[in-house]
A and B are shown apart, each in its own frame.
Chain A
Amino acid sequence: MDAAAQIIFGGLFQGSLYAVMAVGLALIWTTIGVFNFSHGVLMMLGAYVAWQLTALAIPFSVVVPLTMILMAGVGWLLQASVVRPLIGRPNIVLVVVITTLAAASLIENGTLEVWGPRSKQIPALVDGNAMLLGVGVSLHQITIIFITPFILLALWLFLNRTRTGLALRAVAQNEDSALLVGLNVKMLYGLAFAISAALAALAGIFLGGYRFMSPVMGADPLLKALIVVVFGGLSSINGPIFAAYLIGFFEAVCSYYFGLYWTPALLFAVLIITLMVRPEGIFSGKSRGLA
């Protein structure tokens, strides 16, 4: 029973973190058709901004939304500076990998310069621990497990039930046709980056309340989010959500039975096999789009 409970909680928690990270990455891919390799440092910067705001004695209930808003602005600026000027150029996917990696390096080193190398931690969403199914779990983790589906549902409702969401889904599918119906494509690209950065910041707050923060803390979540997105499929944000939980559970099972050391190797083995059998991802169609 203990084993099952540990795997369930571990899988749900990791899956929740990966889902929040991966949907942001998938949103940018499906809308603009580029990979944002600074997504990990945006997560890290979100955690540091939240830490700074907390240090200024701002109530944590205000810190979370304020951090997301500030990071949405950072995402918008990032898009305007290192992505938008390159749209329409040949090899844009590769070029944006380089420019977003460069931006990531700048942000990472800037964070080191501003906040220093000492590890930091932000407050938990909810303090304390609880015994569930015979396993001790922090209330911070349980909160993340419960609120993540609502966050993902809110994003789904935004994309599928609002006019701005409809516009984002349209621009994701056909930029020229989107211009023809009067959509401001540049603004929508900025919005996609802003939402993505806000989600990355939220993931940073989740992680920063659970582990010690450092300027390099975004590297591993970025890698996992990339795996989730590729595994789940690049044609929508639904695939990565399912894939995030699947990979979360896979990691929890592997960690329990084979140990943390072997888990990444097994994950990559499954990813390689998946890509050989179904290159478009397990939950994917073949075209880009948010629908």
Chain B
Amino acid sequence: MALLQVRNVTKAFGSLKALDNISFDVAPGEIFGIAGPNGSGKSTLFNVITSIPFGPDRGQVVFDGIEIQRKSGNDIARLGLARTFQRETSFDKLTVFENAMIGAVYCGRRRTSSEQRESATDALNLVGIERKRFGQTADELSVYDRKCLMLATAVAMAPRMLLLDEPASGLTKPEIESSIGLIRRIAERGITVVLIEHVLTFLMSLSQHLLVLNQGQVLALGEPRSVIADPRVIEAYLGTRKAG
């Protein structure tokens, strides 16, 4: 049974249909990639799945057997669906450790105080932030480290699924390679990962399934190599590379 089921989800802003009848499933344990040109509705899709800042106009989102499209963002998070934003949105004035702790404390899991601290420490270790930096405030970190901290906060929640919105944006090539390794390590813990990314090599190297959106509609869905060979995808998304 799929961990996440998205059924006929639609979201409009006035006359603009940002998402038009989107349906797909994500299986437990997989890394699921979502690609598409700018404005194709990728981030809007994450917004309606998490209800932050808005839910869908129509359609159904089922997470772990529970309909979530009318639940609040914090309730969805407490069910085990975590998300990161494209921009680095850590809690700037909290320390690195407090950032991870807040994920460990309010995730909806019953944990003792020491378990929460262990979870926060473990998440920070996983993303490679050294213990000596635990006392620094988040705004003292580099862009890459802040992205890692955002991931650590999400991992400390012990989520069943993690939605990552363009984790490689703004990173250098070596940092992108580190991120690929980091996302693999997260997936190895049994956390299902859904990944939006512009960098196709990033998606290709990680995803077991790839969904391509264009103008709010599903253009292609399937195994990554067959999807990027689809002529419609080449025209809509990779066509710019061909023209260049």
Contact = CB atoms under 8 A, between A and B. Distances in A.
Nearest to B50: A180
B91 A169 contact: yes
Contacts of A184: 74
B180 interface: no
B105 A180 contact: no
B157 interface: yes
A183 B90 contact: no
B102 interface: yes
A132 interface: no
Contacts of B77: 179-182
Choose among A176, A180, A183, A184 the residue with the greatest number of B CB atoms under 10 Å from its CB: A180
Contact of B92 (A166, A173, A178, A183): A173
Contacts of A92: none
B93 interface: yes
Contacts of B154: 180-181
Contacts, number: 82
Interface SS majority for chain B: mixed
Nearest to B101: A166
B78 A176 contact: no
Interface size class of B (residues with CB under 8 A): 20 to 34
B218 interface: no
Given A166-B101, A176-B85, A291-B137, A183 B93 contact: no
Interface string A175-210: 011111111110000000000000000000000000
A179 B102 CA distance: 11
Contacts of B101: 166
Interface string B65-93: 00000001110011000111100011111
Contact of B94 (A166, A183, A285): A166
B153 interface: yes
The CB with the most chain B CB atoms within 10 A, among A169, A173, A285, is that of A173
Given A169-B91, A169-B93, A169-B94, A179 B52 contact: yes
B92 A289 contact: yes
Contacts of B85: 176-177, 180
Given A166-B98, A170-B102, A291-B137, A179 B92 contact: no
Contact of B103 (A181, A185, A289, A290): A181
A69 interface: no
Interface of B: 50, 52-53, 72-74, 77-78, 82-85, 89-94, 98, 101-103, 105-108, 137, 139, 153-154, 157
